[in-house]
Structure 1
Amino acid sequence: MKNNLVSIIIPCYNQACFIEEALYSVLEQTYTNWECIIVDDGSTDDTKKIAQYWAEKDSRFIYFEKLNGGLSSARNVGISKSKGTFILLLDSDDKYDFSFISKAINILEKDPNCGAVSCWGQKFIKTKRLEIFKPTGGVIEDFLFQNSAIGTSMLRKLCWQEIGGYDEKMKKGYEDWEFYIRLTQKWKVHVIPEVLFFYRQRDDSMRKIAIKNYDKVIKEYIFKKHKDLYVLHYDETIKHFLEEIEINKCSRLKLLNSLDYKIGHFILKPLRWVKSKIS
């Protein structure tokens, strides 16, 4: 291991109640040659107070405040101010296992074809551990129609520079997936088959917002932005959409044949008859 500097970027917007857990997971890393840049994206809570306290306690923690611009903007600002060869992204309400940096940097240093390193993750609420998720990583074909890695991974700063950073127009989620689509056109993403990342499950999380905006984000932006890429992978694209149509068709048939639907249809039938006579 070459002991390269790792820059940990933690964007934060009104997460004062959670950010210390994230910072503790940084402080506990077995790999110690790091700087941690906390990017306050216009918070109105006690984020500044907490971050400055940590910066005073350990000079490796650096606080930077900016006007609110969204997650992609905060990540880009933090990375642009970083000095490390490698970048580790961490959202302010999540945590990494103490061994992650050591394991991830070892892979990046050995494999020049690897642009980013991720791992398996586990959701949690307070002290309760929930389901484990196991992304597979891979190359561009693995990222065309889904995100096959955790969004907050360790990556080469060179990769971020060459592909133009995070897309700051994307403010409704999936900015990490779109970033990987560009990254994996040249590099691969390695996933460590261990649970080393812990994702806080929250009702107002970005992922839940993203799911609500799925069709709009995916169909109206990502696919159009990378039109040439999907044309290049025409057969895979057609297969994907045909399978999606079939899944939707089966889901609708299942709904139509369900007992709840039939009871509801039976109850509403007289009302529909009355409405038709009135109109």
Structure 2
Amino acid sequence: MSTPLVSIIIPTFNRASIINDTLDSILDQTYSNWECLVVDDGSTDETKKVIHNYALKDPRISALERPPEKSKGANSCRNYGLSLAKGDYVIFFDSDDIMVMTCLEKRVEAFNKYENKDFLVFSMGIFKKKYAYEIPPNRKVVNLPLDKTIEDFILSVALPWNVCRPIFKMSLIQNKIGFNEKIHNFQDDEFHIRLLSELKPDYLSIDITDCYYRYDEVSLNKYESLSGYQNIVNCFNEYYTTVFKALNEEQKQKLNKQLKRKFFNQISFYVIPKINREVLFETIKLFDEKIGFTFKEKLIFNLVLFLNKYYYQKKGYYLVSKQLKKTINNNL
């Protein structure tokens, strides 16, 4: 078996207490020809010290910091790591997740078998505490034509895969595509929608669980705040610009109502009082330009915005918003 170099790129921020689990799982790999580029995003805890200690122990680990001229965020860190990576293959991993010992070995073996593919996607389990690993019985394994895969990324509640699950040929993406540094949410889906639509790669999903996602209440709850909601709203225009660019006219017509329903539900949930609506209005304009709003649809959207701004969680809010959702679902 050939032993190509695998680049593992990990962005991190304030993970001093848990990043050792991730790095230990990489050091434990049965496949040894890898490099791990860990890019710190300006941590204020001991994360940088932890990374540097690992780099001293094993030269395959590089302790890096996001350049100050690059915008803050995981996507900037991923792009910086990608610019320095030297591997034949590349995996984007998260600093709180864990690889199975044979993860790299099995992924390289699979590429030897499916050498005509541009990237392979593997399954991912979950864990809430170390060694308590679970493989979801309803895990999603997607092998669809590119247009259907893109639609699945846009409309499904569960994404076809997240950023940790693929292994890419470096030649597919390096100097050809990168992560959107303007957004802090919708990162996985926005990247893969662009990758699939612009590069038109040949991929294969393989149902082998070789890594585990940390189910962390603290991380999950970081969006449950005004600033978390604002970050999501601020990403609407960039995300939907990518969506509309990826869809052809036939798809836009076919998915018209589903796209509007998704956007309506996002507005209903995230656009609460004190949210800056500037990006939201840009996104509404984008929708109107790309797929158009009927007079009734515009009226319903404006009613939701008015309701959320002036009557959010006040008496009668729940009943009125529920009726509006029912109306939009009946019409869309």
- Conserved? CA contact 2:16–2:47, under 8 Å: yes
1:238 deviates by 2.7
Answer yes or no: is the 8 Å Cα contact 1:30–1:98 preserved in 2.
yes
- Judging changes above 3 Å, is the alpha-carbon distance between structure 1 residues 167 and 90 closer, same or farther for their aligned structure 2 residues? same
Partner of 2:54: 54
Which residue pairs with 1:251 in the alignment? none
Partner of 2:180 in structure 1?
167
C-alpha distance in structure 2 between counterparts of 1:181 and 1:154, whole Å: 16
Report 1:128-167 matches (<5 A).
128-129=132-133, 132=136, 134-138=139-143, 139-144=146-151, 145=154, 146=156, 147-152=159-164, 153-161=166-174, 163-167=176-180
- CA distance 1:134–1:78, change in 2 (3 Å): same
Work out the number of aligned pairs and report it.
250
- What residue number does 2:81 align with? 78
Percent identity, aligned pairs only?
29
**Distance 1:215-1:238 versus aligned 2 partners, 3 A rule:** farther
Deviation at 1:48, TM superposition (A): 1.7
| 1:193 corresponds to which of 207, 232, 247 | 207
Greater strand proportion: 1
Cα deviation for residue 214 of structure 1 reads 9.7
Tell me, yes or no, if structure 1 residue 108 matches structure 2 residue 111.
yes
Query: Structure 1 residue 88 and structure 2 residue 91: aligned?
Result: yes
Q: Which amino acid aligns with 1:234?
A: K
Q: CA RMSD in A?
A: 3.1
The Cα of 1:53 is off from its aligned counterpart by 1.3
Q: Which runs of 5+ in 2 are unaligned?
A: 267-314, 320-332
**How far apart are residue 137 of structure 1 and its match?**
3.4
Query: Relative to structure 1, is the Cα distance of residues 129 and 109 closer, same or farther in structure 2, using a 3 angstrom cutoff?
Result: closer
Aligned to 2:123: 120
Aligned mates of 2:259, 2:243 — CA distance in 1: 16
User: Which structure is larger by alpha-carbon Rg, 1 or 2?
Assistant: 1
**TM-score, with length taken from structure 1:** 0.77
Map 1:1-279; keep pairs closer than 5 Å.
1-66=1-66, 67=68, 69-111=72-114, 113-127=116-130, 128-129=132-133, 132=136, 134-138=139-143, 139-144=146-151, 145=154, 146=156, 147-152=159-164, 153-161=166-174, 163-171=176-184, 173-185=185-197, 186-205=200-219, 209=223, 216=233, 219-232=236-249, 233-238=251-256, 240-241=258-259
Q: With structure 2 as the length reference, what TM-score do the two structures score? A: 0.66
